[in-house]
Structure 1
Amino acid sequence: MQTLKQLQNGELKGAISLKLSDNLSHFPVEIFELADTLEYLDLSFNNLNSLPPDFGRLQKLKIFFCSENQFTVLPEVLSDCPLLDIVGFKSNRIETVPSASINSNLRWLILTNNRITELPAETGNCSRMQKLMLAGNKLKELPASLTKCRNLELLRISANQLNEFPEWLLSLPKLSWLAFSGNPFSYKPTVQPFTPIDSRQLEISEMLGEGASGIISKATWRHAGKTSEVAVKIFKGAVTSDGLPEDEMNACITAGNHDGLVELIGQITNHPENKEGLVMKLIPESFYNLGLPPSFVSCTRDVFKPGMGLTPAHVLKIAGTIASVAEHLHNKGIMHSDLYAHNILVDDEANTLFSDFGAACFYDLSDIETAKKLELLEVRAYGCLLDDLISLCNEAEHPGIEKLTALRDLCMSDNALKRPLFSQISSQLSGVK
């Protein structure tokens, strides 16, 4: 991160990237001195509430983040930057999105955790849009013009005030990752409380990781005269980019047992801060994340460590396990909504665990037509995973990989009705070697 003083002293001349978090209340005009080179600008975690009328002088700007500020209106001047590709105004106080603020060049727009009640129809003019993050607002409906966004792949509309599920979303040919829990229309099955585990029986030893919804730690569980090493997830309780933590917890409980899921042991009670939490089986240290989250360039697609490779047998084993888990979840009316390699844990033997239910959604299995469409939507996400696995395979002409390639093409068909269901995918993969 750079400093305002460096900028004012001219030390950043020629910079392509600028990140300033310095309790700013006004846009530093010195930024315009970088107009000939600046492509990435991050002014998050300040106290800004407006942008200058000549913001468009930043003609080369491609990525602009202005999250955790004080904006109440999405600035119209965003449309004056012709190359603007990614815009993030997460966690402001935005209530109004003027039609003029929608830059039609956008590929990725983040408006999570604001107070937006309505999106302008002009949002549908973003023909390049691949990723639209709207969770945690006050939207009562979506503009039907979004049907024109034929490249939209990831959409987050959780924790809004939508009274009806926008069925027309299911006609979008590339939509693969859709999260919609926490709305008035959302289906809420009865979730029975899971095995209670008193927090006083748990001794936290070290933090293993932190996600948007909570913190996972290693802990010692003392119960019935025994001692066990377990993993504990304590939910933060705030809305995330994917949805509400309570929906994640309920999905974890409802998912039940499967060899490809992390085993759930119990639900925490008597937490000293009254927080919700889950106790899970501790994943062996031999497991690692198969992929890394999408980059600015890849947008909706995962990236992988340089030089990473998989044998055909490992590719097929991972593909088979995830298909089986997805079939298991959809049989329970759960759409994972974040089917990605970065949410898959594997070891060197390709033993596979599917994790992170932060975006998971329940749907009504008795609504057969919609249930099928939602499953076929997630099948496209699975097709993207197959595409990634095939690209990592070190033996492309292997017979099993050739069959997997044909399956990938079916799963990624723009015509959802041509895609197989997860039960059919599992059946096809069961005999492939």
Structure 2
Amino acid sequence: MFKCIPLFKACNRQVEYIDRRHNNLTDVPDDILRYTRCLEELLLDANQLKDLPKGFYRLVQLRKLSLSDNEIGRIAPEISNLINLMELDISRNDIGDIPENIKFCKNLQDFDVSSNPLTKLPPGFTQLRNLTRLGLNDVSLDRLPQDIGSLSNLVSLELRENMIKNLPQSISFLSKLEILDLGSNEIDEL
């Protein structure tokens, strides 16, 4: 969906929202990469994307990026260029590692990385102090960072279907937390 008809060249700089969910895309279309100065919302869920091109990380005005249910294997360190990003959904992909540079996405509030083969969070992850919702369901985590309590704005922390055995004491500092989902883990005492 476009807010304006992209047939008019004068209009190209105005596109703020693109929805190409549930298509058969195997690559990010080149026309999307033209909107580096104005694109704020990009929805590419439920396609067959495997990689994100280098130019993708020049979409610096993005506030919402949804890439769930694809076949993406890697998020590049250049994710740090997306400094305006507030919502990032990379759930249901093949991502085994989150780059440490994610810590520079300081405006990130909603981050879902559920259902990926992820075993740990990168160093510095807890510097994302504006996070209010964090989805880490079904990612093979066996522990949380000791300083998880630094994410003091978290309202929802979803950790269902992992291998977590115990929780760090700092979790008690999450004073705004309303939802803590620990279902199907290996915790034997709280």
Asked if these proteins are the same fold (TM beyond 0.5), I'd say yes
Query: Larger radius of gyration, structure 1 or 2?
Result: 1
Decide whether the 8 Å contact of 2:3 with 2:16 is kept in 1: no
Does 1 or 2 have the higher relative contact order (CA < 8 Å, sep 6+)?
A: 2
- Could you list the per-position Cα deviations for residues 182-234 of structure 1 after superposition, in whole angstroms to 9, with x for gaps in the alignment? 112257xxxxxxxxxxxxxxxxxxxxxxxxxxxxxxxxxxxxxxxxxxxxxxx
Following superposition, the deviation at residue 365 of structure 1 comes to 6.9
CA positional deviation for 1:166: 3.3
SS in 2 for 1:33: coil
- The structure 2 residue matched to 1:371, chosen from 152, 171, 177, is 171
2:177 & 2:33 partners in 1: Cα distance?
31
Q: Residue 152 of structure 1 aligns with which residue?
A: 108
CA deviation vs aligned residue, 1:370-393 (integer Å, no higher than 9, x gap): 634xx62xx4566xxxxxxxxxxx
Aligned length: 164
Query: In structure 1, what is the Cα distance between the partners aligned to 2:101 and 2:65?
Result: 16
CA separation in 2, counterparts of 1:35 and 1:186? Answer: 51
1:366–1:185 distance in 2 versus 1, CA, 3 Å: closer
Alignment of 1:20-169 (within 5 A): 31-37=5-11, 58-81=12-35, 82-102=37-57, 103-166=59-122, 168-169=124-125
Rate the CA distance shift 1:17–1:75 in 2: closer, same or farther, 3 A.
closer
More helix by share: 1
Q: Secondary structure at the match of 1:78?
A: helix
Code of the residue aligned with 2:62 in structure 1: it is: L
Paired position in structure 1 for 2:159: 361
Partner of 2:129: 173
The correspondence of residues 304-315 of structure 1 with structure 2, limited to 5 A, is none
Q: Distance in 2 between matches of 1:338 and 1:142?
A: 22
TM-score of the superposed pair, with normalisation by structure 2: 0.74
Assess if the C-alpha contact under 8 Å between 1:61 and 1:83 holds in 2: yes
Tell me if the contact between 1:155 and 1:179 (Cα under 8 Å) persists in the aligned partners. Answer: yes
Structure 1 contact 79–104 (Cα < 8 Å) conserved: no
The residue number in structure 2 matching 1:251 is none
User: In the TM superposition, what is the alpha-carbon distance from 1:77 to its structure 2 partner?
Assistant: 4.3
Distance change in 2, residues 1:338/1:137 (3 Å): farther
Q: Is the 8 A contact 1:35 1:60 kept in 2?
A: no
State the 1:76 CA deviation. Answer: 4.7
Instruction: Quickly say closer, same or farther: Cα 1:71–1:370, change in 2 above 3 A.
Output: farther
Q: Which one has the bigger strand percentage?
A: 1
Counterpart secondary structure, 2:42: strand
Cα root mean square deviation, aligned: 2.7
From 115, 140, 149, the equivalent of 1:184 is: 140
Q: TM-score under structure 1 normalisation?
A: 0.35
- In structure 2, relative to structure 1, the CA distance for the partners of 1:370 and 1:162 (3 Å cut) is farther
Deviations 1:263-320 (A, max 9, x none): xxxxxxxxxxxxxxxxxxxxxxxxxxxxxxxxxxxxxxxxxxxxxxxxxxxxxxxxxx
| 3-state SS of 1:17 partner | coil
Residue identity in the other structure for 2:60:
S
Distance (Å, rounded) in 2 between the aligned partners of 1:370 and 1:93: 39
Unaligned 5+ segments in structure 2 are 144-153, 179-190
